Chain A
Amino acid sequence: MEAIADWFKWLNDAHRINLSIFYDAFDRGKFLGGLLTTLKLSAICLVTSVAIGVVGAWLQGSRFTFARRIMQGYIQFFRNTPPLVQLYFFYFAIGNLLPRVTDAYGQAVPPVSNFAWAIVSFSFFAGAFNVEIFRAGVEAVPRATVEAAEALGYSRLKAYIHVVLPLAFRISLPALNNNLVNLIKTTTLAYAIGVPELLYVSAQIWSDVLNVREMMNVLLVAYVAIVGVLVMAMNRWERAMRMPGYSV
């Protein structure tokens, strides 16, 4: 540990390449905190956006025109507007409508934190795409397979959970992959409402230490790594779900 810090100090002194996050405890703590926030934000949004996709695709096949209309409106709104505008909309437009609450120190604070707004905003954003992705998967499941389930006594919901969804998932996986990678990249927008994620803390560090060039590289490498882990996990999952004898 000590040796690594010394080497980066030397790197700075000798070559003016200042990677303070490797030798300065304060910067390192800040950076790791940002990394953790990005990971948390990404993980939560991944799960909730997939859940939105699953439920949404179910509602799109609903008998009730009303449910289908709502889904259609939701998808159109979130697909056709910029995610940064959506985030501002949630944080400033809706956030300011909510009454303030008093925190433990007796201060009036907003009831929903900026971190929570980022989760809500990105989940709905990625969720809208996931609904479309799953719907395409659901539609690709042969009608005859669903009918076989019905003939065995499955209700529409049970057939969806046990037969349609597992097959739709496998069909949708490549498209889902793309969208989830996009979601991780989109989390940097949380910078705009002051969520201390990776980009935000990096900006704090480089305005302090004046190492913009170095931090830019660190940022890019960090995102390559995060996305790489996701892609690897998805590929593993895809292999685990392979259906022997089928090309899908």
Chain B
Amino acid sequence: MAWTADQPLIALVDVHKSFGKTEVLKGITFSVAKGEVICVIGPSGSGKSTLLRCINALVPIDRGSIKVEGQEVNDPALDKLALRRKVGMVFQQYNLFPHKTALQNVMMAPIQVLKQDRKEVEERAHRLLRKVRLQDKASSYPGELSGGQQQRVAIARSLAMNPDVMLFDEVTAALDPETKKEVLVTIRELAEEGMTCLLVTHEMGFAREVAHRIHFTDGGRIIESGPPEEFFAKAKDPRTRQFLSQIL
């Protein structure tokens, strides 16, 4: 029953999640194959963030199954560290560690969590900062960086753990159009290198160009899915059409 790369990297089956009386996820089923880029779109409050947070066990689910590389996330005996090594996550508000420089932010987890060799980690961290075009900001503190720069440091910080899949939760929502572009370019490069990505985004242009598949969620369900050409051209559900007409 070992997981192999031809099976879905992430597989969700009938995932339910409630906060108190409000059911936020009402049976979500989809999967992400290795190397795939999946975009999730949908109105505010439809449970997109909750969905991503369930996948790396920041939030426990009530019913259904989430498997990451064949490993059940909803298992009380789950090794959370092993899961989070595989799944990188980037947040809307960057959430960098404000008391550490950009370089230290990238180096912390591999050293403190994975106990990797400091020298080796430092080299990798410099390489990652170069990759997100921030090599000259290595010794800046988050408070000294723009939103877009902070977000790219956050991406580098996640990549430093060598994840198999990256979750992005509206990572450009707090940015102005110019800085947005820098971050989107970085994500696109990652996707083109074959990184498996699951993105929640409102960037329709980006989704159209980069995504292999788009899921539209509303009221805790996936209403409509499809490859971008099909999705944007002939969305059938009225809710999808209404959402698209508002945002495009």
Contact = CB atoms under 8 A, between A and B. Distances in A.
B32 interface: no
Contact of A144 (B56, B80, B81, B95): B95
A152 interface: yes
Given A153-B113, A243-B141, A148 B95 contact: yes
A83 to B, nearest CB: 34
Contact of B113 (A154, A170, A244, A246): A154
Contacts of B142: 245
B173 to A, nearest CB: 14
Interface string A125-156: 00000000000000000101101111111110
Contacts of A148: 89, 91, 95-97, 154
B161 interface: yes
Nearest to A247: B143
Interface string B84-96: 1101110101011
Contacts of B97: 145, 148-149, 163, 167
B58 A150 contact: yes
A163 B95 CA distance: 11
Interface string A158-171: 10001100110010
B84 A162 contact: no
A99 B47 CA distance: 65
A243 B101 CA distance: 9
A151 B143 contact: no
A151 B55 CA distance: 11
B114 A153 contact: yes
SS of A interface (majority)? helix
A153 B161 contact: yes
Given A144-B91, A148-B91, A155 B81 contact: yes
Given A151-B56, A151-B89, A152-B109, A167 B84 contact: no
B161 A152 contact: yes
A244 B101 CA distance: 9
Contacts of B89: 148, 151
A241 interface: yes
Interface in A186-210: none
Nearest first, the 9 A-B pairs at minimum CB distance are A245-B143, A148-B95, A152-B109, A153-B84, A151-B89, A153-B113, A245-B144, A244-B141, A246-B143
Interface of B: 56, 58, 80-81, 84-85, 87-89, 91, 93, 95-99, 108-109, 112-114, 140-145, 154, 157-158, 161
28 contacts: A144-B93, A144-B95, A148-B89, A148-B91, A148-B95, A151-B56, A151-B88, A151-B89, A151-B91, A151-B158, A152-B108, A152-B113, A152-B157, A152-B161, A153-B80, A153-B85, A153-B113, A153-B161, A155-B80, A158-B113, A163-B97, A167-B97, A167-B98, A170-B99, A241-B99, A245-B141, A245-B142, A246-B98
Given A147-B91, A155-B81, A244-B141, 11 more contacts: A144-B93, A144-B95, A148-B95, A148-B97, A151-B87, A153-B85, A153-B109, A154-B109, A154-B112, A158-B112, A246-B141
